[in-house]
Amino acid sequence: QAIYLEDYQAPAWLVTHTELDFELEEEQTLVRARLSIKSNPESGGKRQPLVLNGHEDMELLRLSIDSQVLDSGDYRREGELLTIANVPDQFVLECVTRLLPHENTALEGLYKSDGMFCTQCEAEGFRRITFFPDRPDVMSIFKTTLTAEKSRYPILLSNGNPVASGEESDGRHWVTWEDPWPKPAYLFALVAGDLEVLEDRYLTASGREVRLQIFAERKDLDKLEYAMESLKKAMRWDEEVYGREYDLDIYMIVAVDFFNMGAMENKGLNIFNTSCVLAHPKTTTDAGFQRVEGVVAHEYFHNWSGNRVTCRDWFQLSLKEGFTVFRDAEFSADMNSRTVKRIEDVSLLRTAQFAEDAGPMAHPVRPESYIEISNFYTLTVYEKGAEVVRMVHALLGPELFRKGSDLYFERHDGEAVTTDDFVKAMEDASGRDLTQFRRWYSQAGTPRLNVTDSYDEASGEYQLHISQSCPPSPGQEHKQPYHLPLAFGLLGMDGTELRSGVLEVTAEEESFRFTGLNERPVPSLLRGFSAPVKLEYDYSDAQLLMLLRHDTDGFNRWDAGQRLCIRLMQEQIDAYRPGAEPSVPDALLNAWSELLLDEQLDPAMLAQCLKLPSEAQLAELADTIDVVAIHEVRKGMRKVIAEALEQQWLAAYQRCDLKDVAYSPDAESIGRRSLKNLALGYLMSTGREPWLELARQQYEQSDNMTDQLSALTLVVHSPHRESADELLQNFYLQWQHEPLVMNQWLSVQASDPAEGALERVKQLSEHPVFDAWNPNKLRALIGGFCGQNPIHFHNESGEGYAWLADWILHLDRQNPQVASRLLTPLTRWKRYDAARSALMQKQLQRMMDTPELSADVYEVVSKSLV
Ligand code: ARG
Ligand code: ZN
């Protein structure tokens, strides 16, 4: 049941207009669709049957062509397809379907979230609403009428502008919406509910006034301001940086609590997971505020990169996602600290995306085949896809890149296109040849760059020798060399920058020559992480310490420190024996001490530099992952560093304490809080009583969730069990009515490394705040345990694996998308020791042997077992 990119064919039929009527009721929803269909002149002449998509569970009540009702002999319904053999060249198809939104637990198509109706159609949810050529290259003009009981559903929304409304005698009312922009069905949306709204206006660069509305449940009305501010900033930024204006009179966002992903860019009517739109200092952490800003911008930017110019087919998903992630990352970098944003993004890429590249589901940015497209909303398509666009930006430079994006939007406005069309526009605007560069879209895996150098004292000539390779990935044994920008600097041992620039690497092996150097330079390589590769260069400790102190590239400063820590930690992980005392060399302690004393340094940057690489990062780098050694070595090293620099940590804590200043989520304050809480974390690692007191004090006195939750997490994840239980109970009583805060409460406990973790999460799964129908709750508890608590999930008993498999099998019948995502940790079974990997494999096999798996879970399980 796999689908292949190479089989793509243009649609035989086009739907120029789509009229939809929804009768929303408690027990059922009736959908009347009226499609104006004509044959596609570009699909090759001979008349083809009309084939529509429609989910098996959808009840078809009536079907007619040009008002002639069809009986069951006139069409064939098979699986997800409905075929009508004989149709005229142009006709109107009418279709009535019955849906059961209140029973829709998959949260795809039309469903109910906390009593309100909402939709999620990307990628293939529209076929659960009506029969339709549900593919992104069929673009249609939509007109939608919603009818519902007025008292329960006073707000009725769909895409575009409201054009008519009215009341009926029986307490029902209706609203008609028209979206003038042709769009694929995956961008369709509706919402019906009893919602409050925050309103604002925005004046576009050309003077059009746009009404901005953010809808939420009444209790959340005070959590919408930040999203509104973020939206206005994003609208301005897209005008200034890309010359893109908004194109409708209204822009709406709706917050819903039951949502499979983060948010959705439906034309004019974005639907958001509450976790990505609600923000309030008392209930939202700094990371939460930044996520809201980033996701609001991301969905807004899709209006051009995704909606006005959309994807030809789902293999092109990165066309809109990679580009839009790049756009939102640049926006966040402009709004906050550029270097810190880059460090965060690269950390995610290096841990999660590199791990994906090394696992059984590895795929190119433009996949070649899939069974279930939902499984391809991945870090590779999104984050690596964004890195690929970033490289185009680096190779062309900002001006030519802008010329290229202008040409892309202009050339393809209103079209459904491919990643190749994107690259072509960049080529045509810049005159550059990106033929070889295109391999980034078609080859999977993380390339390795091996760099060596040589210096000739007599001539002052220095050379960098670069060789590249890329390990095999499923279905791709051999890889061709990549074309990539390698940003670099050459530094003197005292830190002076002697040269800098961007090298274009294209060959499997090549050398670059620099002349006129009076000393052997230290290379600062891959500055700003200019390409998504693993770079090896045999740095000495002294060189890394110098770069950590002096590199003018902030990213590489951080990276030098990380390299040093990783090397040190890997040595001790490899030599690990239970009870062994970890050590940290004085040179590193001195360097960190120096950084801590440097009051000129940006606290956010400092916090990044003083963070040890995560367990996930160390796992990704290991040949065979030893979860216990990784955990114990990291914990032990933290303690050594904490004790050695105890006074400095305290000083940093005090320096960054924003005591009498009201909370603000600006970059500077966020930076100070991050250093403060990092310092508190190290202090807590000493295990000394006064710091527990300090944490408890911070917990009690803080006016914001960042400080409160940090203190809670540190106490819970410390050996002070009684204090932990007391604070957890206190936190629960304080916040039990805030679902998003309760997600955090679940996560903190799910990731608690103390003994008995599995028992605790099992108990929590029975707790009243847990709701197994809600994806956010599942991610917090199950995702938290299996993803954020490696020593317990990977306990040698295998009970963690069995527990996850039980959940997957249960969830698969209710919400396959969520089940398939939660499954990820088990797919990495080959990376662990023989005993663990056998236990993981056993659970995968158990799932494989279960009849009637969803396509989502089947695809992941079957590919993992290969
Ligand atoms: N296009 C959305 C975004 O990137 C993601 C929605 C994906 N949803 C899904 N069910 N696969 O913002
Ligand atoms: Zn997106």
299 is catalytic: yes
Q: Percent of the chain at pLDDT above 70?
A: 100
* Residue among 242, 302, 236, 233 at smallest CA distance from 270: 302
Q: Are 357 and 838 in contact (CB under 8 A)?
A: no
pLDDT of 682 > 90? The answer is yes
Residues lining ion ligand 2 (Cβ < 5 A) are 321, 324
Which of 110, 275, 377 gets mutated to test ligand 1 (max ligand atoms within 8 A of its CB)?
377
* Residue among 774, 740, 607 at smallest CA distance from 288: 740
pLDDT of 708 > 90? The answer is yes
Residues near 73 by Cβ (< 8 Å), separated by ≥ 6? none
Please state the atom number of ligand 1 nearest to the C-alpha of residue 299. Answer: 12
Which of 253, 264, 305, 317 gets mutated to test ligand 1 (max ligand atoms within 8 A of its CB)?
264
**Cα–Cα dist 564/210, whole Å:** 51
Mean pLDDT lowest for which of 451-465, 509-523, 623-637, 658-672? Answer: 658-672
pLDDT for res 232: 99
For residues 455-468, average pLDDT: 98
Please name which ligand lies nearest the alpha carbon of 377. 1
Residue 657 burial (C-beta neighbours within 10 Å; 0-12, 13-18, 19+): middle
CB 802 near ligand 1, within 6 Å: no
pLDDT of 44 > 80? The answer is no
CB 373 near ligand 1, within 6 Å: no
Please state the atom number of ligand 1 nearest to the C-alpha of residue 817. Answer: 10
CB 375 near ligand 1, within 6 Å: no
Cβ burial 756-775 (10 Å sphere, 16+ → b, else e): ebbebbeebbeeebbbbebb
Residues near 167 by Cβ (< 8 Å), separated by ≥ 6? 150, 173, 174
Q: Are 521 and 491 in contact (CB under 8 A)?
A: yes
Please state the atom number of ligand 1 nearest to the C-alpha of residue 373. Answer: 11
pLDDT of 721 > 90? The answer is no
Nearest CA to ligand 1 atom 5: 264
Query: Residue 423 has which token pair?
Result: 């690259």
Distance 267 CA to ligand 1 centre (A): 13
Please name which ligand lies nearest the alpha carbon of 265. 1
Residues near 39 by Cβ (< 8 Å), separated by ≥ 6? 12, 13, 14, 47, 48, 89, 90
Sign of CA dihedral 656, 659, 662, 665: positive
Distance 302 CA to ligand 2 centre (A): 7
Using DSSP's 3-state secondary structure scheme, residue 864 falls into helix
For residues 148-173, average pLDDT: 98
pLDDT for res 530: 98
Q: Percent of the chain at pLDDT above 90?
A: 98
Q: Phi and psi dihedrals of 372, rounded to 5?
A: -130, 115
Please name which ligand lies nearest the alpha carbon of 302. 2
Residues near 700 by Cβ (< 8 Å), separated by ≥ 6? none
Q: Are 35 and 15 in contact (CB under 8 A)?
A: yes
Using 50, 70 and 90 to split pLDDT, how confident is the model at 416? very high
pLDDT of 255 > 90? The answer is yes
Q: What is the pLDDT of residues 61-88, one digit of tens each?
A: 999 999 999 999 999 999 999 999 999 9
* Residue among 40, 136, 150, 123 at smallest CA distance from 89: 40
pLDDT for res 694: 98
Catalytic residue among 108, 265, 293, 299: 299
Nearest CA to ligand 1 atom 6: 264
Nearest CA to ligand 1 atom 11: 374
Angstrom CA distances, 165 to 47, 98, 169, 303, stand at 40, 23, 14, 26
Please name which ligand lies nearest the alpha carbon of 272. 1
Q: What is the pLDDT of residues 761-775, one digit of tens each?
A: 999 999 999 999 999
Q: What is the pLDDT of residues 727-770, one digit of tens each?
A: 999 999 999 999 999 999 999 999 999 999 999 999 999 999 99
Query: Residue 22 has which token pair?
Result: 């929804």
pLDDT for res 46: 78
For residues 567-591, average pLDDT: 96
pLDDT of 45 > 80? The answer is no
Using 50, 70 and 90 to split pLDDT, how confident is the model at 660? confident
* Residue among 163, 160, 176 at smallest CA distance from 211: 160
For residues 173-201, average pLDDT: 98
**Cα–Cα dist 530/505, whole Å:** 12
Distance 671 CA to ligand 2 centre (A): 27
Please name which ligand lies nearest the alpha carbon of 264. 1
Q: Three-state SS string across 777-820, please?
A: HHHHHHHHHHHHCHHHHCCCCCHHHHHHHHHHHHHHCCCHHHHH
Please state the atom number of ligand 1 nearest to the C-alpha of residue 295. Answer: 12
Q: Are 157 and 190 in contact (CB under 8 A)?
A: yes
**Cα–Cα dist 165/846, whole Å:** 54
pTM over 0.90, yes/no:
yes
* Residue among 692, 604, 699, 702 at smallest CA distance from 659: 702
**Cα–Cα dist 66/92, whole Å:** 5
pLDDT of 659 > 90? The answer is no
Which of 261, 298, 817 gets mutated to test ligand 1 (max ligand atoms within 8 A of its CB)?
261
Q: What is the pLDDT of residues 284-299, one digit of tens each?
A: 999 999 999 999 999 9
CB 374 near ligand 1, within 6 Å: yes
pLDDT for res 786: 98
Mean pLDDT score of the chain, rounded to an integer?
97
Distance 299 CA to ligand 2 centre (A): 6
pLDDT of 119 > 80? The answer is yes
CB 266 near ligand 1, within 6 Å: no
CB 264 near ligand 1, within 6 Å: yes
Distance 335 CA to ligand 1 centre (A): 24
Mean pLDDT lowest for which of 363-367, 416-420, 596-600? Answer: 596-600
Distance 555 CA to ligand 2 centre (A): 26
Distance 255 CA to ligand 1 centre (A): 15
Please state the atom number of ligand 1 nearest to the C-alpha of residue 263. Answer: 12
Using DSSP's 3-state secondary structure scheme, residue 666 falls into coil
pLDDT for res 599: 86
CB 260 near ligand 1, within 6 Å: yes
CB 859 near ligand 1, within 6 Å: no
Q: Are 50 and 83 in contact (CB under 8 A)?
A: yes
pLDDT for res 543: 97
